[in-house]
Amino acid sequence: MASRTIENYLKQLWLEQQDTRGKYVPMGKLAALVGVTAGTATTMVKAIADSGLAKYAPRAGVRLTRAGEQLALHVLRRHRLLELFLVEILGIDWSDAHAEAEELEHVISETVLARIDLLLGHPSVDPHGDPIPSSAGKLEAPKLCSLAELHTGNTTIIARIVDQSSEFLRFAQSSGLVPKAQVVIEHTNPQAGAISARPDGKEPVMLSMVAAAKFLVRPCAATRGKRRNK
Amino acid sequence: MASRTIENYLKQLWLEQQDTRGKYVPMGKLAALVGVTAGTATTMVKAIADSGLAKYAPRAGVRLTRAGEQLALHVLRRHRLLELFLVEILGIDWSDAHAEAEELEHVISETVLARIDLLLGHPSVDPHGDPIPSSAGKLEAPKLCSLAELHTGNTTIIARIVDQSSEFLRFAQSSGLVPKAQVVIEHTNPQAGAISARPDGKEPVMLSMVAAAKFLVRPCAATRGKRRNK
DNA sequence: TTTTATATTTTGAGTAATCAAAGTATTATT
DNA sequence: AATAATACTTTGATTACTCAAAATATAAAA
Ligand SMILES: [Mn+2]
Ligand SMILES: [Mn+2]
Ligand SMILES: [Mn+2]
Ligand SMILES: [Mn+2]
């Protein structure tokens, strides 16, 4: 039904409009994400809006309708199941899986996807810890906090990495900062804007606050000063 | 490099020009194989010829150059490895594998293909018994004879089925006429143009000569009347 | 409030692939 | 040899996607 081009627009739009209730995604942002010029994005978005998958507000931006979100979630499901499949079954490097899945997500049939899902045991997260939408288009989003929010001495487990670039993922892997790894916060230095985290059985790693924020963890250790339950 | 459209033209061209030394594939034939009108095929073929992948002779037809053949063989390799992968690893029905591979063959990367090849143990034939070209673009084509050439009482093993349509493949599977199956020729009736073949442990199957010719077998039993070595 | 900078939209044009229908060449039939 | 049938090519138009550059609206600065 939707072309591969449109599927890409929808997916990027979905990812971008998360955690922004009612806010519109600006055209420049979308264009950059999809990798086209702003003019191209404007034209495509108008076509997408005409087919009822998004609402377009000139000079303000664009936002998916319910139908658009559902379609986007199906693309996202294909993408994330494929990523896990590439890593788990074929042994592809997790830093390359994203780029590979970016192509495959548009040509895989429902039948093949169902077999992959079965083979993987109906998984709930992809290799980066990103949740996999159900075949019905439901997505459970557990609220996680990040490494940047923890304090010296805290111990936690990495649940998710929110940067798909292969450079960052290669760095994360070589440091041992991968999903399911246990890490201890050795030092925090708010003034310098950096922390030191030590993955279990590995060397401590220095992380800027920006980098630390890309690692989502569980359980979210209680913050030092203010505890909810006294 | 080559678009998915051109890859399809090249692959069909290669399949069609096999066993025809120097003969040109007529446009109408190619158009039917690719599923476009004759005019479209003419236009595309001229473009393909301009890029050096084929030689086009107006009103006569088209033939791949060496470069075109090499590219076609790489597409064919992807196609056949994917078919086997879909059947062996994902458990897709072999009658559907062809159609699935038809799409995937254009988006799979060299890296992923290499992992699939490894996982399958560098196979030499696909689920239909079709030989898989090497990564260097070499193809060994063993000469086989067909069920239609055998005689009453002959026993042989099915090596290859030369019809990709899912209806025919479903019939073949339900009859037990699949690659590696042993079959005995129970009756031949040249006048009626039909034979009766019995797969090991199955019911005998009636086959027209046209249908029988689609099953290639090995070993090729010596023909009854004239033996090469007396 | 006028001017300037930034973001967005519009316009005009191009590429890749396709079809329907009209035109042309090549065979086959009479 | 003239005619009819067939195969092939050409023409003109369409769809989907894209970009560069000009035009316009909005927000920021002076
Ligand atoms: Mn994609
Ligand atoms: Mn992912
Ligand atoms: Mn194909
Ligand atoms: Mn095959």
pLDDT (tens digit per residue) in A51-105: 999 999 999 999 999 999 999 999 999 999 999 999 999 999 998 999 999 999 9
Q: Do B111 and A119 touch (CB under 8 A)?
A: no
Q: What is the pLDDT of residue B222?
A: 56
Q: What is the pLDDT of residue B192?
A: 83
Q: How far apart are CA A17 and CA A2, in angstroms?
A: 20
Nearest to B90 among A92, A107, A116 (CB): A116
- Write out chain A residues lying below 8 Å of B92, CB-based: 111-112, 115
Q: What is the pLDDT of residue B29?
A: 97
| DSSP at B105 | T
B75-141 matches B4-64 in CATH topology = yes
Contacts A–B by Cβ distance under 8 A: 41
CB contact A96 to B (< 8 Å)? yes
Q: Do B112 and A91 touch (CB under 8 A)?
A: no
d(CA B117, ligand 4 centre) in Å: 15
Q: How far apart are CA B176 and CA B201, in angstroms?
A: 9
pLDDT, tens digit, 9 for 90 and up, residues B118-144: 999 999 999 999 999 999 999 998 889
Residue with tokens 């159609």: B99
Mutate to test the interface with B, among A88, A90, A93 (most CBs of B within 10 A): A90
Q: What is the pLDDT of residue B1?
A: 83
Chain A residues 47-86 within an 8 A CB cutoff of chain B: 86
Asked whether residue B43's C-beta has any atom of DNA/RNA strand D within 7 A, the reply is yes
Q: List, as one string, the DSSP characters of chain A.
A: ---HHHHHHHHHHHHHHTT-TTPPBPHHHHHHHHTS-HHHHHHHHHHHHHTTSEEEETTTEEEE-HHHHHHHHHHHHHHHHHHHHHHHTS---HHHHHHHHHHHTTT--HHHHHHHHHHTTS-SB-TTSPBPPPTTS-------EEGGG--TT-EEEEEEE----HHHHHHHHHHT--TT-EEEEEEEETTTTEEEEEETTS--EEEEHHHHTTEEEES-PPPSS--S--
Q: Residue A195 forms beta bridges with which residues? A: A188, A207
Residue B169: exposed, middle, or buried by beta-carbon count in 10 A (0-12, 13-18, 19+)? buried
* pLDDT range class, residue B228, cuts 50, 70, 90: very low
Nearest to B115 among A91, A106, A116 (CB): A91
Q: How far apart are CA A5 and CA A23, in angstroms?
A: 23
**Which sign, positive or negative, has the C-alpha torsion B115, B116, B119, B123?**
negative
Asked whether residue A58's C-beta has any atom of DNA/RNA strand C within 7 A, the reply is yes
Could you say which nucleotides of strand C lie within 7 A of any protein CB atom? 7-12, 16-22, 25-26
Residue with tokens 């039993």: B221
Q: What's B145-224's CATH class?
A: mainly beta
Q: Under CATH, what is the fold of the domain A4-64? A: Arc Repressor Mutant, subunit A (1.10.10)
Percentage of residues in chain A with pLDDT exceeding 70? 96
Question: Which nucleotide minimizes the distance between its C1' and the CA of A46?
Answer: C9
| A5-9, A214-218, B153-157, B168-172: which is most confident | A5-9
- CATH classification code of A75-141: 1.10.10.10
Q: What is each CA distance from A147 to A151, A196, A209, A226, in whole angstroms?
A: 9, 10, 8, 18
Nearest to B107 among A91, A107, A116 (CB): A107
Instruction: Please list, in sequence order, all residues whose beta carbon lies within 8 angstroms of the beta carbon of residue B172, skipping any fewer than 6 positions away.
Output: B161, B178, B215
pLDDT, tens digit, 9 for 90 and up, residues B64-81: 999 999 999 999 999 999
* pLDDT range class, residue B221, cuts 50, 70, 90: low
Residue with tokens 């999809």: A34
Q: pTM for the whole thing? A: 0.91
Domain spans, chain B = 4-64, 75-141, 145-224
**Which sign, positive or negative, has the C-alpha torsion B154, B125, B104, B37?**
negative
3-state helix/strand/coil string of A12-62 = HHHHHHCCCCCCCECHHHHHHHHCCCHHHHHHHHHHHHHCCCEEEECCCEE
Q: What is the pLDDT of residue B227?
A: 36
Instruction: Please list, in sequence order, all residues whose beta carbon lies within 8 angstroms of the beta carbon of residue A162, skipping any fewer than 6 positions away.
Output: A128, A214, A216
d(CA B208, ligand 4 centre) in Å: 22
Looking at per-residue pLDDT, the higher value among A219 and B161 belongs to: B161
3-state helix/strand/coil string of B46-73 = HHHHHCCCEEEECCCEEEECHHHHHHHH
In whole angstroms, how large is the CA radius of gyration of chain A? 19
Mutate to test the interface with B, among A3, A7, A104 (most CBs of B within 10 A): A104
